Amino acid sequence: MTVEFRALHKSFGATKALDGLDLTAHQGELLALLGPSGCGKTTALRMLAGFEKPDSGQVLVDGEDISDVPAHRRDAGMVFQAYSLFPHLTAADNVAFGLRMRKVGAAERRSRAAELLELVGLPQHADRYPHQMSGGQQQRVALARALALRPKVLLLDEPLSALDAKVRVQLREEIRRLQQELAITTVFVTHDQEEALSTADRVAVMRDGRLEQCAGPAELYDTPSTPFVAEFVGTMNRLPGRASGDGSVEVLGQRLPVRGDAGTAGAVDVLVRPEAVDATADEDGSARVTATAFHGAVTRLTVALADGTTVKADIPSHRASGLAAGASATVTLPERPVLVEARAA
């Protein structure tokens, strides 16, 4: 089952929720829609579920336009943010709700519900009511309910955002395992980049109703194609530099090649991840360590450069001993192409 968004536009009054979204989710993959709130990711998902109608553009499932199919006839199971279980029904009845709507017999409903609750790891909770279950358990039941009608697509609308950190990690691994087991095409909306990177096959970063970049987690992290993606995914330093216009940039006294748009010239921000920044203790260095935070294998240094710019650098903890707060240091970058952005005037 392939899902395709084609040139989707949607406005709510004066706000543009989608401004020409093009995106494809392939058969059996878990595609995460990632972006800040208001970027249109939820609107896109709700269009796929049939809760919103696009102003223009198409939603295609296996090449077929489903824009006119009403929500209750779409083959898409959805898990909502939280508290979407019907409060007057037990876990089993919640799971079997869709089957009841389709007039499936009671015996078959029961066995199917039991099977699904088993699948999400709650076989003994069939007779519990939602208010008798924890948030994580409720979302597992919601997942079972979404799968009850054997949908061709699974839609997840920030299903973990209301849960505790520990449960969140557990459940996202569980979702990933189930999704791979069932090989079901899944669209997963989240604003949590760690969640997206750790579960998805591909991550689509959205901004202002458009797609910024869609790629595998590693590619997205290592070679973000735009400054927005670079800063939204992971931590990013901005160092002042000067681009020459011929594809190189001068930063921290080094000359490095520019990745992507080589034509930029003049004052730029050079974008580098903390783990790509190296700092060494140096009595004559112009930079000064202002804070350190121990993270196990690495230690994150906060370093103030001579011009006042603050840089974060992750260095192996065994090398951090001479770099306590107040120490002088020299900051260098590896000889690799870097991403630049013209500095806002």
* Contact residues for other proteins, defined by CB under 8 A: 12, 49-53, 71-74, 76-78, 80-81, 83-88, 97-98, 100-102, 131, 142, 145-146, 148-149
Strand partners of residue 314: 300
How far apart (Å, rounded) are the C-alpha atoms in residues 125 and 115? Answer: 12
Amino acid at 172: R
Rank residues 148 and 229 by Cβ distance to other proteins and give the closer one. Answer: 148
Rank residues 12 and 294 by Cβ distance to other proteins and give the closer one. Answer: 12
Give the three-state DSSP class for 191: coil
- Smallest separation, CB 154 to other proteins (Å): 11
| ∠ Cα 166 170 173 (to 5°) | 140
* Burial class of residue 104 in the structure, from the number of CB atoms within 10 Å of its CB (0-12 exposed, 13-18 middle, 19+ buried): middle
Instruction: Give the relative orientation of helices 165-182 and 135-147 as an angle to the nearest 10 degrees.
Output: 20
DSSP E strands: which ranges in 76-209? 76-79, 153-157, 185-190, 202-207
Rank residues 49 and 277 by Cβ distance to other proteins and give the closer one. Answer: 49
- Smallest separation, CB 38 to other proteins (Å): 15
Q: What CA dihedral angle connects 92, 94, 98 and 101, to 10 degrees?
A: 100
- Sheet containing strand 254-257, strands side by side: 254-257, 248-251, 237-244, 265-272, 339-342
Rank residues 21 and 146 by Cβ distance to other proteins and give the closer one. Answer: 146
Q: Are 140 and 120 in contact (CB under 8 A)?
A: yes
Compute CA distances 152 → 26, 27, 78, 183, 310, whole Å: 12, 10, 11, 10, 49
- Smallest separation, CB 41 to other proteins (Å): 17
Rank residues 78 and 311 by Cβ distance to other proteins and give the closer one. Answer: 78
Rank residues 96 and 277 by Cβ distance to other proteins and give the closer one. Answer: 96
- Smallest separation, CB 250 to other proteins (Å): 51
- Smallest separation, CB 50 to other proteins (Å): 7
- Smallest separation, CB 138 to other proteins (Å): 12
Rank residues 101 and 265 by Cβ distance to other proteins and give the closer one. Answer: 101
How far apart (Å, rounded) are the C-alpha atoms in residues 340 and 303? Answer: 21
- Smallest separation, CB 274 to other proteins (Å): 39
